[in-house]
Amino acid sequence: MAFLHFDRVYAPCAVLIVKDGVDPYEDGNAVLIQGDDDMRAVAENLGWSPDGTLEMPPDASWYDFLQSMAGEGLGPMRAGILNEYLPESDD
């Protein structure tokens, strides 16, 4: 599974999609998503809509939605969606 990780020092305008149980800063363990269009696409794939979601009110931005999804508590369906962004592992 995977999770979202924000680090304002390492990647101030981006989010990392990270494999569970690994160091997000080690090569091959994370994918950097930057740029508004790419980050918005990740939010939409996780269920964000400009009309609101179960978790967020209609005026919440896609960035706020991603921030609320950060960490390892996404649930299996959303964590599985994030897995699609990670490169295939050799193991």
pLDDT tens per residue, range 26-85 = 888 899 999 889 999 998 898 888 777 777 777 778 888 888 888 876 888 888 899 899
Helical residues (DSSP H) of the chain, grouped into ranges:
36-45, 62-69, 76-83
- pLDDT tens digits for range 6-22: 998 998 889 999 988 88
Q: Are residues 83 and 2 in contact, defined by beta-carbon separation less than 8 angstroms?
A: yes
Nearest to 66 by CA among 78, 77, 80, 76: 78
List the one residue out of 77, 57, 83 whose CA is nearest residue 68.
Answer: 57
